[in-house]
Amino acid sequence: MTSLPSHAEVQRLHAYWQASNYLCAGMLYLRDNALLRQPLAPAHIKRRILGHWGTCPGQTFTLTHLNRLIREHDLDLMYVCGPGHGAAAVLAHAYLDGHYSERYPECSRDEAGMTRLFQRFSAPGGIGSHCSPHVPGSIHEGGELGYSLAHAFGAAFDNPALIVAAMVGDGEAETGPLAASWQSARFLNPARDGAVLPILHLNGYKIANPSLLARISHAELRALFEGHGYRPCFVEGDDPPAMHRKMARALEQCLAEIRAIQARARGGERTPIRWPMIVLRTPKGWTGPRQIDGHAVENSWRSHQIPLPDPAGRPQDLRALEAWMRGYRPEAWFDADGALAAELRALAPVGDRRISANPHANGGLLRRALDLPSPEAYSQPVRAPAAADASPTQLLGNYLRDVMRANADRFRLFGPDETASNRLAAVFEASGKTWMARLLDSDADGGHLAADGRVMEVLSEHLLQGWLEGYTLTGRHGLLATYEAFAHVIDSMFNQHAKWLDKARRQGAWRAPVPSLNLLLTSVVWRQDHNGFSHQDPGFVDVAANKRPEVVRIYLPPDANCLLSVAAHCLRSVGYANVIVADKQRHPVYLDASEAARHCQAGASAWDWAGTHVSHEPDVVLACAGDVPTGEALAAVALLSSRFGGLKIRFVNVVDLFALAPPTVHAHGLTDEAFDALFTRDKPVIFNFHGYPALIHRLCYQRRNHVNFHVHGYREQGDVNTPFELAVLNGIDRYSLAIDVLARVPRLRHCGAAVREQWLARREQQVAQARAEGIDSDDIRDGRWPTYEARRD
Contact status, residue 271 vs residue 264, Cβ threshold 8 Å: yes
- Of 475, 478, 548, 547, the closest CA to residue 512 belongs to 475
Site for its own copies in 366-425 (CB under 8 A): 417-421
Site string for its own copies, 298-317 (x = CB under 8 A): -xxx----------------
CA separation for the pair 62, 86 (Å, rounded): 12
Compare residues 186 and 405 and give the one whose CB is closer to its own copies: 186
* Residue ranges in 441-470 that form contacts with its own copies under rule CB under 8 A: 442-443, 445-447, 449, 457-463
Size of the site for its own copies (CB under 8 A): 127
Can you point out the beta strands (E) in 431-487?
433-434, 449-450, 455-457, 477-483
Q: Distance (Å, rounded) from C-alpha 634 to C-alpha 611?
A: 9
Nearer to its own copies, 240 or 723 (CB): 723
Which of 77, 81, 149, 180 is the binder for its own copies (CB under 8 A)?
Answer: 180
Which of 278, 489, 525, 729: binder of its own copies (CB under 8 A)? 489
| Binds its own copies (CB under 8 A): choice among 32, 73, 102, 143 | 143
- The only residue of 206, 245, 284, 454 in contact with its own copies, by rule CB under 8 A: 206
Q: What would the DSSP string read from start to end of 406-441?
A: HTTTTEEEEESS-TTTTT-GGGGGT--EE--S---G
Give whichever of 409 and 716 is closer to its own copies, judged by the CB atom. 716
> In this structure, are residues 62 and 247 in contact, taking their beta carbons and an 8 Å threshold?
yes
Among 4, 41, 216, 667, binds its own copies (CB under 8 A): 216
| Sites for its own copies among residues 721-760 (CB under 8 A) | 721-722, 725
Contacting residue, 8, 74, 105, 295, with its own copies by CB under 8 A: 295
Q: Which of residues 556-585 bind its own copies (CB under 8 A)?
A: none
Of 674-693, which residues contact its own copies (CB under 8 A)?
A: 692
Of residues 754 through 793, those in contact with its own copies by CB under 8 A are 770-771, 773-776
Among 253, 531, 573, 787, binds its own copies (CB under 8 A): 531
Check binding of 46 to its own copies (CB under 8 A). Answer: yes
Our CB check for its own copies shows the closer of 543 and 732 to be 543
Between CA 555 and CA 227 the distance in angstroms is 42
- C-beta of 477 vs 499, nearer to its own copies: 499
Should residue 547 be labelled a site residue for its own copies when binding is judged by CB under 8 A? yes
Is 752:601 a contact under the CB 8 Å cutoff?
Answer: no
Candidates 124, 508, 746, 783: give the one binding its own copies (CB under 8 A). Answer: 124
Select the residue interacting with its own copies from 36, 112, 256, 296 (CB under 8 A): 296
- Residues 159, 193: contact at Cβ < 8 Å? yes
Contact between 79 and 90 under an 8 Å Cβ cutoff? The reply is: yes
Q: Does 56 bind its own copies (CB under 8 A)?
A: no
Q: Of the ranges 57-65, 155-163, 380-388, 541-549, which one interacts with its own copies (CB under 8 A)?
A: 541-549
- Give Cα separations from 593 to 273, 362, 379, 385, 652 (angstroms): 47, 36, 6, 12, 18
Taking a C-beta distance cutoff of 8 angstroms, is the pair 160, 195 a contact? no
Question: How far, in Å, are 484, 519, 643 from residue 627 at the CA level?
Answer: 14, 17, 25
- Tell me the window of 236-244, 276-284, 492-500, 561-569 that interacts with its own copies (CB under 8 A): 492-500
Pairing mode of beta strands 295-296, 291-292:
antiparallel
Q: Is residue 100 part of the contact set for its own copies (CB under 8 A)?
A: no
Our finding on whether 499 is near its own copies (CB under 8 A) is: yes
Output the smallest distance, CB 500 to its own copies, in A: 8
Nearer to its own copies, 126 or 373 (CB): 126
Gap between the Cα atoms of 376 and 399, Å rounded: 10
**Cβ neighbours of residue 683 closer than 8 Å, sequence gap 6 or more:** 617, 618, 619, 620, 621, 705, 708
Restricted to residues 220-279, the positions that interact with its own copies (CB under 8 A) are: 220-229, 272
Minimum CB separation of residue 472 from its own copies in Å reads 18
DSSP string, 39-56: ---GGGB-SS-----TTH
Work out how close the CB of 140 gets to its own copies at its nearest, in angstroms, rounded to a whole number.
Answer: 11
Parallel, antiparallel or unpaired: strands 433-434 and 449-450? parallel
Could you give the CA distance from residue 660 to residue 687 in angstroms, rounded to a whole number?
Answer: 12
Output 382 or 485, the one with its CB closest to its own copies. 485
| Rounded Cα–Cα distance for residues 228 and 279 (Å) | 14
Q: Which of residues 186-205 bind its own copies (CB under 8 A)?
A: 186
